[in-house]
Amino acid sequence: MLRATSRRISQSVLLRRPRPPSPELLFLPFLYPPVSRNLRWLRSSLSVSSIEPSPNPPRPRRTYSTTTCHVAMPDTLVGIDGGYNPGSNPVGLKGRDITSVEGPSLLIVDTPRLRDSVKKKARIIGGISEDKHEVLATFEACIRVGRIARAQLMLNTITNLLDITSPLLVGAHNTFLKALLNRALAENSQDSLRVFYTWYEDTMKRELNISGDATTMGLLMEGCFAVAEKRHGTRYIQQYFSQWKEQGRDINEVFALSILSDEHVIAVAKICGLKPDDMSEKYKNLYLEEAVEPAITKVANVQSSDVKGSSLAAIKQSLASLTDPDAMPSRHSFGQDDVTFQIERQKHLEMDAMKSAHERWKKDHEQLVERGIAPLRNSVNTLLWSWHQALVPLIKQELQRVAEAEENPGYPSAPDRCLYGPFLRLMTPEKVAAVVILEIIRMQNSQLNGEGTKSSHAVMAIGKILEQEYYAQELAKRKNRDIFGSLEKEELGELFNNMAMFRAVIKKARQKMLENPQQTVDLMLEWPGSVKAKLGAVLISMLLHCAKISITKLLPNGERSIQHHPAIQHAYNYVKGRRLGVLKLHPDVVQKLGSQPLRGSSMGRNLPMLVPPLPWLAWNEGGYYYTRSRVVRTKASKEQDIYVQTASNRGDLDQLFQGLDVLGQTAWKINKRVFDVVLHVWNEGEEFADIPPRDTGLDIPPEPAPNENPRVRMEWVKEVRRIKVLEKNNHSQRCNINLKLEIARAFLFEKFYFPHNVDFRGRAYPIPPNLNHIGDDLSRGLLMFDEGKELGENGLRWLKIHCANLAGYDKASFTDRVKFVDENLEDVIDSAENPLGGRRWWLKAEDPWQCLAACISITGALKLPDPTKYKCHTIVAQDGTCNGLQHYAALGGDLEGAKQVNLEPSDKPQDVYTGVAELVKAQVKKDADAGNSVAILLLGHITRKVVKQSVMTNVYGVTFIGARAQIQKQLEDNPAIPRQEVVRCAGYLARLVFDGIKSVFTGATKIQHWLALTARMISRSVSPAQYGDLKDHHNGVLQDSKNSHIRRKGKVEFMTSVVWTTPLRMAVVQPYRQESSVIVQTNLQKIYISDPSAIDQVNSKKQMTAFPPNFIHSLDATHMLLSARKCAEIGITFAAVHDSFWTHPSDVDKLNRILREAFIELHSVNIMEKLKDEFETRYKGYKYLVSIPRHAPQAKLIKAARKQYAMEILEKSGLTVVEDLEWELERDRLLASEDPQERQKGEKMITPSVILHRAGGARVVEVQEPLGAELGEVPSSAAVERAMAQQDVFDDGDDDSAMDKSSTIEAMIADGEEAHMELDNFDEDREAQETEKMLPPTTTRETLATGIHVWVPLEFPPLPPKGDFEVERLKNSQYFFS
């Protein structure tokens, strides 16, 4: 309720000013130059026909700027629903209007600041928290559920906590006023109405001197119409109008709100003597015409009959939109056309997921009861219904206990109930129970390892989904949220067929909303983390108690016994020495979920859409119609949110929005012929293609005797564990497939769409998580384009090439691939006409389900007299050749690498995986000849498939451990390799694979090294924004502390993340920081939650190891979105999965041209040079802490200079890290002075950086620290990191200095949990963690242990020289994407 309470805040933050689409929005290269230069490489748009710049290019409206836009770091952020989180001003509005900044200036947000002290746990007095966020959110919840008396107590606390001028305070009192007014109107009580006016006149106006805003005035005037004596009400309206006018305010501000009905607005205008010309156009027309009531209101009500059951009530509820004026659609109705119908269906799809699941469970349960069947022993739906029926009474009992706690907050459990109780009341117990059960099932479906869900994750997930469901419930009630209510009827004809018109219409509608002031009531706060944790825990505890499953046991006497077992268990697992609480479903429940249809019971809200997604217009505006989504997926990173929201407000994300809109406009449908085959196979329950069997058929081997050899027993334990894991994985996979099939069945005859957003690197993903085109072979095989296009001249050829690719014959020339399909044409036709009863040739393909779809289309085309006329819906994919290596080869001009990844023209496609495999084979043969036992074992078993995954992921930062695991997985399927030798063989091969990559991609290796080195330097630097805070180390603000999550006396915090700008002007912020957690004690277990408002120190190692792959990800994401926009311009249907681009067979030739020219356009400039330029601008004036060996000659001079400075100037024996930094900054200040004497003094100062500079610079003597897993680099030890964690920053070793003994680089950059990278090809979190463990030593332990550290200016190393490859040669490479 208390969000965006200031109009000035909400207008500029919530709704970015719509910008007219411009063909000149795309500028390449993308990185803003820090100095003025000849920008000949600028392009006004992406050209498909030519890459040559015009001799006199037109001047674009928005050009590159030499300026930068600095934005202050706000304390808190705008929430997902566009509201305002309490605490401070929103993003970018501290003393500046970011929308007025001339783009495209470089966006730079001030370096975050670490907290000065530990945040104290808020006290709870009388059941009311003293935490500002908690009390505001709880106050909102109390108002929502009508607990006015308790809300008043909280409002008193809020008044004491907030400044009297705070807009939040006005909003809180407005919220309370509205609750009082609603109560008075509901009770039709004049006494309650007096309480309403007394609160304003006595409390707000006299005691607090709060006169209120437009919302306050609207509420007061609305209350006047409820006054019993009409003449008194009229007089009050005149008094409040005079009061408003005396303040110099316009009454139209009040009228623009939705507080007063249209009739009351006209009545106020007439009472106050306003003329029609004094009012807005809308009310001017209403003032002059008679109000027309809906005709239905004049029809007499139908007398209800004595009908048993709920059918009549259900019918009435369904007809409410036709009979209840308040529930009727907007006056700007759409009419009875199909578009309107689909939009209405979309609303139900988004809003009624929980309700439909609840009704389905109930229906199945009742049908079984009527048939006399025990419900607990049958379908999943009736099982879930039984849980629901048991959980609802427990929730109601808990609500009673909450009420008792609020009356008597003194007993032990009362404070917690007073905290979460108001939030539990926000939805009905029936809806809460359904949400909890559905989320538990959803989490189980997402756990493919069968090991259960971490209870800490489950607790927070339950709290979060309840919050989202509440938001959705409230947003659906708001008429102004329905954008289509503002659209004109005549604009709908071509709306969904014209993307440009669609965007323009939505912008126009939102602009109308923007012009109307927002209310300072009915706004929603983010729920506090502690509330979500406690609420989730108490609800899960209830479900653990009541959720049962019936198990039939065979007794020794032969009788059967039915026992009721807990369906969900809370247990503890030990992971790497840590005890983690987990929730596990009973095996029989898992079996049911994997073998029975869910029938809509757990599909969730984020489903495919029945209408085209809303165009993205802001960071939180786009995609679904009634559910909020973020355009960028961030993971609890305040810094990322700041950049995203600020860039959105500035218009920097317009190009990103347009690319995502193209992806969302692609219409899909289910391939019914493939679906029929899948459904038949699924119902049979046998293993087929990638569908696991219903029953694995594996039996637990007999347990060895107690006196058996321990080794035999150990092997038995391993085998049992292997079978158990296989069974769990099998069930989990069936659950996942079951969900996909349910969604496919529901959409079987529908045309649907996938709204898209991006991760923090700019990679696009469909928002619906289950069935989508980014999924596995089964998902892709089930999907096809809704629009069919005739094959045309080359369509059948490309369809055959596509079929050959799917069959695994993808390394031959195009001609040979077509020949391959022609030679197997009988099998292709047999596969299409008799997929299960025939020869099943399609099952031999690498991607069988997609291959089946291709066979069906080829057969359909060949049956026509003219195959070119066949309307094809099948997708043809164009895949890049290890796309990451393609970008590396282009960046470094690596000629040999370019040949390997098909950037160079050739007669047949080059295969980097085969190339590396051949190098590995040669080395294995050589080692085998030399007698290497592992090499001898592997002779003849090295295939392309064995090395492919490790080669593909190496470019994205896979570690040696990760590559070994990937190869091990391939070797485990080879019976010729003894199981006990698999790990050793995998490690041996991983080293050879890394060596092979390094020998081929020399240029890429150098680029990756430079990226990792610069990331390390950035993450170990301090910014000018931090310099001003150094005084706090001397003025008593900071104290000595061992807590690394706060600012500490004598220590410097490393707060700088690696930030860069993509070609689409999206600022990418790496989120890797330490995380400070707060313990929340719940009745389930202790839960650790992180404070989303806090920004901790960076994790230097993770910033360093993640930057190279993340930078490459941002480039391939840019290439994809640029290609998508151009495809939309020329009318090509387009879909993509990162580096696999899809279109109709007839359009593949056009798509290929677009892909090449987009790649050339992207790399036609020196991207690395532009990145270096941006870094030099973004990190100008930063100081970097460099390490040099203690034995170096410069080290002795530095130690002597420090000792002299400390004794003569500071009169102490040594320097702290802060004092050494201040010494360097003082020299910089003197050198920059306008006073010649000060400049001369600065020139004479000899600081450690001066000594180092005179010796040739830091890079001459700097300790060569490891940079983690580089391309083809094989780490061997973690000694370096352990040594660094033990050394002192400025311990010069020859005196008892005052240096902080714990201020090492690694002590200042403690490990933290890495942010989640969503939906990638491998687990990058795990990879980064493994990289930290595997950092190789480049110097001895003695060298590191005796090193010293020096503050130097942050200066980036020279870029590696670029090779001879010219990216323009790509134009003639037919196998670039194939």
Tell me: the pLDDT tens digits for 1002-1026?
Answer: 777 888 889 999 999 999 999 998 8
Tell me: the pLDDT tens digits for 945-955?
Answer: 888 888 877 76
pLDDT (0 to 100) of residue 653: 92
pLDDT (0 to 100) of residue 551: 79
The H or E element that residue 1137 is part of is strand 1135-1137
pLDDT (0 to 100) of residue 1351: 93
**Hey, what are 223's tokens?**
């209350």
Q: How confident is the model at residue 977 (pLDDT cuts 50, 70, 90)?
A: confident
The whole-angstrom separation of Cα 57 and Cα 912 is 40
> What value does the mean pLDDT take over residues 520-546?
79
pLDDT (0 to 100) of residue 1216: 87
Query: 1087: helix, coil or strand?
Result: strand
Tell me: the pLDDT tens digits for 475-486?
Answer: 655 533 444 444
Contact 536, 463 (CB under 8 A): yes
**Hey, what are 1196's tokens?**
């002795």
The string of DSSP codes covering 1235-1254 is -HHHHHHHHH---HHHHHHH
Q: Parallel, antiparallel, or unpaired for β 1021-1022 and 1183-1188?
A: antiparallel
Whether residue 773 is predicted with pLDDT greater than 80 in this model: the reply is: yes
> What value does the mean pLDDT take over residues 64-87?
54
Count of Cβ atoms closer than 10 Å to residue 582 Cβ = 19
Residue (of 865, 879, 872) closest to 789 by Cα position = 872
Alpha-carbon distances of 460 from 27, 540, 544, 1082, 1247, rounded to whole Å? 42, 11, 16, 11, 51
pLDDT (0 to 100) of residue 247: 85
The whole-angstrom separation of Cα 5 and Cα 520 is 5
Which residues are CB-contacts of 817 (< 8 A; sequence separation ≥ 6)?
A: 800, 801, 804, 805, 809, 810
Tell me: the pLDDT tens digits for 795-810?
Answer: 999 999 999 999 988 8
Q: How confident is the model at residue 54 (pLDDT cuts 50, 70, 90)?
A: very low
Among 94-98, 244-248, 368-372, 1159-1163, the range of highest mean pLDDT: 1159-1163
Whether residue 210 is predicted with pLDDT greater than 90 in this model: the reply is: no
Alpha-carbon distances of 940 from 917, 924, 947, 991, rounded to whole Å? 12, 9, 14, 18
Active site residues: 879, 948, 1139
Alpha-carbon distances of 198 from 55, 201, 215, 229, rounded to whole Å? 75, 5, 17, 18
Alpha-carbon distances of 519 from 3, 171, 516, 1243, rounded to whole Å? 10, 9, 9, 60
Q: How confident is the model at residue 120 (pLDDT cuts 50, 70, 90)?
A: low
Contact 1337, 871 (CB under 8 A): no
CA angle 405, 408, 411 (to 5 degrees): 75
pLDDT (0 to 100) of residue 3: 36
> What value does the mean pLDDT take over residues 544-553?
83
pLDDT (0 to 100) of residue 451: 65
Whether residue 254 is predicted with pLDDT greater than 50 in this model: the reply is: yes
Count of Cβ atoms closer than 10 Å to residue 640 Cβ = 22
Residue 21 CA, distance from chain mean position: 26
Residue (of 173, 174, 162, 91) closest to 132 by Cα position = 162
The whole-angstrom separation of Cα 1281 and Cα 1305 is 10
Alpha-carbon distances of 691 from 443, 612, 974, rounded to whole Å? 20, 32, 21
Among 596-610, 832-846, 912-926, 961-975, the range of highest mean pLDDT: 832-846
Tell me: the pLDDT tens digits for 584-638?
Answer: 888 777 767 655 555 444 444 578 888 899 899 888 888 888 777 889 988 768 8
Q: How confident is the model at residue 506 (pLDDT cuts 50, 70, 90)?
A: low
The whole-angstrom separation of Cα 972 and Cα 725 is 15
Burial pattern 1065-1083, b for ≥16 Cβ within 10 A else e, equals bbbbbbbbbbbbebebebe
> What value does the mean pLDDT take over residues 701-719?
87
The string of DSSP codes covering 401-455 is HHHHHHH-TTSTTHHHHHHHHHHHTTS-HHHHHHHHHHHHHHHHHH-TTSS-EEH
The whole-angstrom separation of Cα 1329 and Cα 1317 is 13
Amino acid making up residue 814: F
The whole-angstrom separation of Cα 270 and Cα 262 is 13
The whole-angstrom separation of Cα 1082 and Cα 570 is 14
Phi-psi region of 1131 (alpha: psi -120 to 50; beta: other; left: phi over 0): left
SS3 content of the chain, % helix, strand, coil (to 5): 50, 10, 40
**Location of structure tokens 């509201």:** 83
Q: Parallel, antiparallel, or unpaired for β 560-566 and 568-575?
A: unpaired
Q: How confident is the model at residue 80 (pLDDT cuts 50, 70, 90)?
A: low
The whole-angstrom separation of Cα 850 and Cα 847 is 6
Contact 1068, 760 (CB under 8 A): yes
Which residues are CB-contacts of 1340 (< 8 A; sequence separation ≥ 6)?
A: none
pLDDT (0 to 100) of residue 861: 94
The whole-angstrom separation of Cα 1059 and Cα 761 is 11
Q: Which of 328-342, 391-405, 1073-1087 is the least confident region?
A: 328-342
pLDDT (0 to 100) of residue 1091: 60
Give 413 or 135, the one with higher predicted confidence: 135
Whether residue 405 is predicted with pLDDT greater than 90 in this model: the reply is: no
pLDDT (0 to 100) of residue 764: 93
Q: Is the peptide bond before 29 cis (omega within 30 degrees of 0)?
A: yes
Alpha-carbon distances of 1238 from 520, 1227, 1241, 1243, 1246, rounded to whole Å? 55, 9, 5, 9, 14
The H or E element that residue 885 is part of is helix 883-892
Whether residue 1146 is predicted with pLDDT greater than 90 in this model: the reply is: yes
pLDDT (0 to 100) of residue 64: 36
pLDDT (0 to 100) of residue 1323: 37
Q: How confident is the model at residue 209 (pLDDT cuts 50, 70, 90)?
A: confident
Which three-class secondary structure string do you get for 815-876?
A: HHHHHHHHHCHHHHHHHHHCCCCCCCHHHHCCCHHHHHHHHHHHHHHHCCCCHHHCEECCCE
Q: What is the signed CA dihedral for 709, 712, 717, 723, rounded to 10 degrees? A: -160
The whole-angstrom separation of Cα 526 and Cα 642 is 17
pLDDT (0 to 100) of residue 123: 65
Give 956 or 280, the one with higher predicted confidence: 280
Q: Parallel, antiparallel, or unpaired for β 1021-1022 and 124-125?
A: unpaired
Alpha-carbon distances of 297 from 264, 328, 389, 1335, rounded to whole Å? 19, 12, 39, 77
Share of the chain above pLDDT 70, in %: 71
The whole-angstrom separation of Cα 1199 and Cα 1195 is 6
pLDDT (0 to 100) of residue 1358: 92
**Hey, what are 792's tokens?**
């045309």
Rg (CA), the chain: 34
Residue 289 CA, distance from chain mean position: 51
Signed CA dihedral, 915, 919, 925, 928: sign only: negative
> What value does the mean pLDDT take over residues 640-669?
91
Residue 610: DSSP 8-state: S
Instruction: Kindly report the length of the chain.
Output: 1378
> What value does the mean pLDDT take over residues 1151-1168?
91
> What value does the mean pLDDT take over residues 446-462?
73
Contact 465, 746 (CB under 8 A): no
Whether residue 753 is predicted with pLDDT greater than 90 in this model: the reply is: yes
Which residues are CB-contacts of 704 (< 8 A; sequence separation ≥ 6)?
A: 712, 713, 716
Q: How confident is the model at residue 74 (pLDDT cuts 50, 70, 90)?
A: low
Amino acid making up residue 377: R
User: Rounded mean pLDDT of the chain?
Assistant: 75
pLDDT (0 to 100) of residue 493: 47
> What value does the mean pLDDT take over residues 405-431?
83
The whole-angstrom separation of Cα 667 and Cα 608 is 10
The H or E element that residue 752 is part of is strand 752-753
Whether residue 55 is predicted with pLDDT greater than 60 in this model: the reply is: no
The whole-angstrom separation of Cα 361 and Cα 388 is 9
Contact 756, 609 (CB under 8 A): no
The H or E element that residue 900 is part of is helix 895-900
pLDDT (0 to 100) of residue 1356: 93
